Amino acid sequence: MNILSIFDKTNYQPLNAIYISKDNLVRNYQYIKSLNPSLELFPVLKSNAYGHGILEIGSIVDRFNCKYICVDSIFEAYQLLKAKVKTPILIMGYVHPDNLSIKKLPFSYAVWSEDQVEGILRHQPKANLHLFVDTGMHREGVRYDELESFANNVDKYKDSFEGIMSHYASADDLDSGQNKFQSAEFLRSIEILEKYGFKFEYKHISATAGILNNLNDQINTARLGIGLYGIDPSGQRENLRPVLKLSSTIVQVKKLRRGESVGYNATFTAEKDMVLGILPMGYNDGIDRRLSGKGVVKVKDRYIDFVGRISMNLSAIDLTDLEDVSVGEEVLIFSDNPDDLNSIEKASELCGTIPYDLLVKLNPQIKRLVY
C-alpha cells in the first residue's frame, strides 16, 4: 500500500485545510456571465487555480459547458486531462515544441512567434492556435507593427488559428487612457489579419477587470480569472463572494511570562503574562511573513493577533483574553467574508500587495475540501 494514499482517505483529519465553496464559485460565474450574456467566458485555472486547487476547481467548472479552460503550462493541462476534465484546454504560456512530440494531445495553444507555430504544428498538426498580439503591455505577443510580416510568414498555417488574444495592462483603472489605446490596437490587429485571410472565432483581451469595467466592445470572448474566485479588482465587491477560506489548528497552548520574547530575533516581548497558541502553519504554507506582528486570525469568532515572527512552519497567536481554548481548537487564518479583518483582501493590504500574491502562495499540499 502506498503510504501517501492514507492522506486521500476521508477519515484523515488535516491540521490545516482550505475550504472551497462550490456554491460561491458557481454564483460568481453566473453573476459575471449575466453582465454580458453574449460574451463567451473562458475560466482561468492557472497557478493552481489561483491557489484554490486546480483539480478541485476543474471538476466544478467542467460543468459550466465553457468553450475553453485556460491554463499557463502544459503541466497544468496534463493535470486536468489526467483528472478527466472534458472542457477543452487553452495553454496560454510558452510550450517547448519538443514536449509535444510524444503523442497526440487535445490542447490548444497561444502563440506569438513563427517558430512556435511551426514547432507546435509539426508535432500536433491538428492543434488550434490563438495568436497573442502585443497591444501595449509589452510582455509576450506579436507587435502591432510586425503583424503583416508575421501573417505572410505563417500564411500556410492560417487555418489553424481559431483565436486572437491580448491583455490589458490597466483594466482596473477606468481613467487610464491605455485601455482605449489597447482596445483600438486590438481591433486594428484583427482587421489587418482578416485581410490576410485569418478567421478568428474567439477574440479575447479582457480578464476580470476588463469584464467588470465593460471594456469588451466588439469583442466576443473574455478570460475569467480572479473574479471567478470572488476577488474583485474593480470595486464591485458586493456582487462577488470569495470562494476560499483557510483554517489551522492550535497544537499547543502555553504561557509567556512578562519580559519573555517569542519567535525569531525576539521581535515581540511580552509586557505582561500572556497565553500563546501555536499553529502548525507558517510562510511555507501561505501565511505571508509580512503579517508578522500585524495580521489577525479568528478564534471563537474573535480577532486574535499574530505575535512574533511568522516562521516557516509555525506561527504564534495571542490567546490571553480568550477562555477555554485548548489544543485542537480551529483557527480561521483567511476568512471568506471580504469585510473581515482576516480576509484575503484585508490581509493583502496589510502586506502591501495584491490578493493574487497571497492566494497563489497557498501550499498545494494543504488539503482542499469542497463543500
Spell out the SS3 assignment of 117-165. HHHHHHHCCCCCEEEEEECCCCCCCEEHHHHHHHHHHCHHHHHHEEEEE
Which residue is catalytic, options 50, 264, 283, 371? 264
Return the CATH superfamily for domain 244-370: Lyase, Ornithine Decarboxylase; Chain A, domain 1 (2.40.37.10)
* Backbone φ, ψ for residue 355 (5° rounding): -55, -35
Burial grade of 4 (CB within 10 A; 0-12, 13-18, 19 or more) = exposed
Tell whether the model's pLDDT for residue 8 goes beyond 70.
Answer: no
Q: Which three cell numbers stand for residue 50?
A: 489561483
Burial grade of 261 (CB within 10 A; 0-12, 13-18, 19 or more) = middle
Query: What's the mean pLDDT in 254-275?
Result: 96
Strand partners, 254: 276
Query: What's the mean pLDDT in 212-219?
Result: 85
Tell whether the model's pLDDT for residue 33 goes beyond 90.
Answer: yes
pLDDT at 264: 96
Query: What's the mean pLDDT in 154-160?
Result: 96
Confidence of residue 236 (pLDDT cuts 50, 70, 90): low
The C-alpha atoms of residue 62 and residue 85 are separated, in whole angstroms, by: 6
Confidence of residue 215 (pLDDT cuts 50, 70, 90): confident
Confidence of residue 6 (pLDDT cuts 50, 70, 90): low
The more confident residue out of 241 and 234 is 241
Query: What's the mean pLDDT in 187-199?
Result: 96
Q: Is 264 a catalytic residue?
A: yes
Q: Which three cell numbers stand for residue 355?
A: 490578493
CATH 3.20.20.10 for domain 22-233: yes
Tell me how long the chain is.
371
Confidence of residue 213 (pLDDT cuts 50, 70, 90): confident
Confidence of residue 216 (pLDDT cuts 50, 70, 90): confident
Query: What's the mean pLDDT in 214-221?
Result: 87
Three-class SS of residue 188? helix
C-alpha dihedral sign at 130, 133, 137, 140: positive
pLDDT at 175: 76
Query: What's the mean pLDDT in 174-187?
Result: 88
Helix (H), strand (E) at residue 370? strand 367-370
pLDDT at 12: 74
Asked if 306 contacts 316 with a C-beta cutoff of 8 angstroms, the reply is yes
Q: What is the pLDDT of residues 310-363, one digit of tens each?
A: 999 999 999 999 999 999 999 999 999 999 999 999 999 999 999 999 999 999
Report, in angstroms and rounded to the nearest whole number, the Rg of the chain calculated over CA atoms.
24
Tell whether the model's pLDDT for residue 86 goes beyond 80.
Answer: yes
Tell whether the model's pLDDT for residue 173 goes beyond 60.
Answer: yes
Asked if 154 contacts 113 with a C-beta cutoff of 8 angstroms, the reply is no
CA distance readout (Å), 166 to 202, 218, 236, 310: 12, 14, 24, 39
Confidence of residue 176 (pLDDT cuts 50, 70, 90): confident
Domain ranges of the chain: 22-233, 244-370
